[in-house]
Amino acid sequence: MRALFPGLLLLAAAPAGAQRLPYEDVLGAPERLRYDEVAVASEAGPVSEFYGDRFEYQPASGGDAYSWDVSAEFGSERHRLWLASAGDGVFGGGLQYVEGQALYSHPILEQGLALQIGVRRDFVRPRRSYAVVGVQGNVSEPLYLGAFAFVSTRNELSFRAFAYYDWEPVTRVVVQPYAAAEAIAADAPALGVGRGPTELELGLRLRYRIAEPFAPYVGVRYDRLLGRTARIAREAGDDVDATSLVLGLRSYF
């Protein structure tokens, strides 16, 4: 299904955060430190953090799949380098999507929301390079948002937005609903997508925090192609939606 999406990046995030319909699952407390929490440490030296937001396995009759969404940041309280990678593949079938991002990140809200600008590269055909501008981060302790615009070297303008909410009804147990969507400004036949909204992802994850840095989870995910992109998929004989069980691990250090 990735081959039909605009090369954006399960973001951001994803990605990408990221940035597959990134996906998202990009930051969150307490597993993910907020900018204002990390700022205290930055007064004593450089900031360096790693976030393994998603290491995921999806059992499926057509071939078990895997995906990841990881990022790291380095720098000071106000000026940081954000590096991210996201992708997915099928066991025995190889990689279907891989993206990397390098962004300058500048906090604009105490809660953690940051302005980000930089570049993105999609490494699996069709390969693309993009300029990136957007925002992502916590707007409150449980709510994380991201919104990005991408312009490729072939003048393809696309967009990505995602949100998730961490609710902890019981100590160490976190329920996380999330949503993500993508769109493109004009038809892009090389990317297999049509003008307008291209994809929607909805999900729900239940994770258990074994220790502060490690939280395995189980969940369900629904993906659907939209509008002209869905029509292109139908004409090619491809499915336009899918529901899958997911098993994964979230970590940071």
Tens digit of each residue's pLDDT (9 = 90 or more) over 11-20:
333 444 444 4
Predicted TM-score (pTM) of this structure = 0.79
**40: how many CB neighbours lie within 10 A of its CB?**
9
Residue 15 has phi, psi (to 5 degrees) of -50, -75
User: What is the pLDDT, as a whole number, of residue 212?
Assistant: 74
User: Can you tell me the distance from the alpha carbon of 22 to that of 227, in angstroms, rounded to the nearest whole number?
Assistant: 20
CA-based nearest residue to 112, from 71, 146, 148: 146
- Stated length of the chain: 253
pLDDT digits (tens, 9 = 90+) for 196-235: 999 999 999 999 999 878 999 999 999 999 999 999 999 9
Domains of the chain plus CATH, in order, are: 2-252 (2.40.160.40)
The 3-state secondary structure of 98-141 reads EEEEEEEEEECCCCCCEEEEEEEEECCCCCEEEEEEEEEEECCC
Report whether pLDDT(43) > 80: no
pLDDT digits (tens, 9 = 90+) for 138-165: 999 899 999 999 999 999 999 999 999 9
The mean pLDDT value of the chain amounts to 84
